[in-house]
Amino acid sequence: MGSESKKQIHEFEPVFNQESKILILGTFPSVKSREMGFFYGHPQNRFWKVIAKLTDSEVPNTIEEKKDLLLRNKIAIWDVIAQCDIIGSSDSSIKNVVPADIGRVLNNSNINKVFANGNTAKKLYDKYILPKLGTEIEGLPSTSPANAGYSLERLLESWGRIKEFL
């Protein structure tokens, strides 16, 4: 595990369709997610548990099950960053950001609310994308294992907000 900053490109597509009503943005895929080729791949990340609980669904295991869970519940997901230099999975090491084309999702769906999964995602969105799109987003506490201060219960309480827009 080197501590060298390395240019990384986001290699998987956003999950959304025309019915999607909310968009949840992360920062950039972790090493585990990049290896797996899909969002929130780290086994300790609570994203899938939170979404499953809020939609009264089973926790999905496969990429297909995850996509199905999201689309069935009108939830779109993507990340703020398309490309950056990053050390491992460390959001705080991110630099040389190329933002993702969030407008592509917004223009091809029924999104009426955008949320950030964590403070870093919101800060990066506000810095790189808000000036171009003009769409304000709401920050939610990160589901990352790095956010250990938030229990699953606390996350569910905060993330319950998304149900108002589905």
With the CA atoms of 65, 109, 12 and 154 taken in that order, what torsion angle do they form, in degrees rounded to the nearest 10? -60
Question: What are the tokens at 122?
Answer: 């919101």
Q: What is the pLDDT of residue 22?
A: 98
Q: What is the pLDDT of residue 5?
A: 83
Q: What is the pLDDT of residue 4?
A: 81
With the CA atoms of 29, 34, 39 and 41 taken in that order, what torsion angle do they form, in degrees rounded to the nearest 10? -110
Neighbours of 79 (CB within 10 A): 24
Domains of the chain: 6-165 (3.40.470.10)
Q: What is the pLDDT of residue 1?
A: 44
Q: Which pTM does this prediction carry?
A: 0.95
Q: How far apart are CA 111 and CA 14, in angstroms?
A: 13
Please identify every stretch of the chain with a pLDDT value under 50, giving residue numbers as ranges: 1
Containing H/E element for 161?
A: none
